[in-house]
Amino acid sequence: MIRTWKITKTKLDEIHFDDEASLDAVTRQLPDGFYSTFRTYDACTRVIGLSAHLRRLPTADASLLRPSLLLLLQPFLPDEARVRVMETRSGEVYIAIEPLKLLPREVYENGVRVETAAIQRINPRIKSTTFIAASDAERKHIAQEGIFEALLVKNGRILEGMTSNFFYVAQVGNLRCVGTARKDILLGVTRSMVIRAARGRDVEVRYRALKLDQLSGVKEAFITSSSRGVVPVVQIDDVVIEEGRVGQITIELMRAYEEYVLSHAEKIA
């Protein structure tokens, strides 16, 4: 069940919508604006990169949102929650919360199938709610086809996922390097942590978007997001990556991210 509140300096008003089937459904029924989505840890008391998530709301007061969020999470205890904070272009602030549904362990062990798509963000650096409506047809399509994610392609290059950032591993000389786009993408919170983890393990990171005609040479691939962490990708369109096996660098970065979560998640308040 999803619950949504309008946040002001004086009160928290719970509001209801005709369609509360998902956070996206709720978001589509609000005026256009900005948003960020994340999950909680430690019985709804901590969040990875919470400060960065709240900065995506242009004028919202983090000192007001933090205690409000902690209070609104109480009904979801003792479990964890998935949260979306939203600010309309007129400055109204909302928080929508649902119980966290973890992905099956098999997703991380076996990897997922993704496809490329031509849809684009108007301004990739801003997490705008208008993109949720613009990408609705693609979201329905991949759900019907059993595809995990859509990758956004521009000028023949894979930039990012529709709800994630995209990484690939390629052979460069005697080394395997992690590649990811830097331009025309949303700079995800989890993305930056994975890059830091890779460098901490002496894995070279190259900021180069993957060309579609280079897909056959990819050794590993994965996507990242705040709610799902690091998810291995074993097939892109019709190209199966390394016989459909999850690669060693991906496994190492999945473990590194889990370790990072345990030690670096921010207290909400």
CATH for 32:
3.30.470.10
Domain end, chosen from 85, 102, 119, is at 102
Distance of CA 236 to the CA centre of its chain: 18
Which residues constitute the domain of residue 131?
A: 109-264
Q: Are 222 and 183 in contact (CB under 8 A)?
A: no
Do both 88 and 185 map to the same domain? Answer: no
248 shares a domain with 200: yes
Within its chain, how far is the Cα of 268 from the centroid?
A: 19
Band of residue 113 on the pLDDT scale cut at 50, 70, 90: very high
Same structural domain for residues 219 and 145? yes
Q: Does residue 149 sit within a domain? A: yes
Query: 53 and 81 share a domain?
Result: yes
Is 47 in the same domain as 116? no
The residue out of 45, 69, 102 marking a domain boundary is 102
Dump pLDDT digits (tens) for 3-29: 999 999 999 999 999 999 999 999 999
Residue with tokens 């859509």: 150
Burial 82-117 (b: 16+ CB within 10 A, else e): bbbbbbbeeeebbbbbbebeeeeeeebeebbbbbeb
Flag whether 269 is in a domain: no
Residues 121 and 56 in one domain: no
pLDDT of residue 109: 97
243 domain residue, yes or no: yes
Which pLDDT band holds residue 180 (cuts at 50, 70, 90)?
very high
Residues 156 and 235 placed together within one structural domain of the fold: yes
**Number of domains, the chain:** 2
Estimate the crossing angle of helix 248-264 against helix 189-200, to 10 degrees.
110
- Domain presence at residue 7: yes
What is the pLDDT, as a whole number, of residue 120?
87
190 and 93, same domain (yes or no): no
181 plus 96 within the same structural domain = no
32 shares its domain with 157: no
Burial class of 165 by CB neighbour count within 10 A (0 to 12, 13 to 18, 19+)? buried
133 and 205 part of one domain: yes
Is 226 domain-assigned?
yes
Contact between residue 28 and residue 133 where contact means Cβ atoms under 8 Å apart = yes
Out of 41, 73, 102, pick the residue that ends a domain.
102
Q: For position 173, what pLDDT does the model report?
A: 84
- 61: number of Cβ within 10 Å: 13
pLDDT at 216: 93
Q: Are residues 77 and 192 in the same domain?
A: no
Could you say which DSSP state residue 31 is in? P
Q: What does pLDDT average to over the chain? A: 95
**Among the listed residues 127, 145, 131, the one whose alpha carbon sits nearest the alpha carbon of residue 28:** 131
Give Cβ neighbours of residue 139 (< 8 Å, ≥ 6 apart). 24, 150, 162
User: What pTM did the predictor assign?
Assistant: 0.94
List the CATH number of the domain containing 113.
Answer: 3.20.10.10
Judge whether 239 lies within some domain.
yes
Does residue 91 register a pLDDT over 90?
Answer: yes
Q: Residue 262's pLDDT is what? A: 83
Q: Residue 237's pLDDT band (boundaries 50, 70, 90)?
A: very high
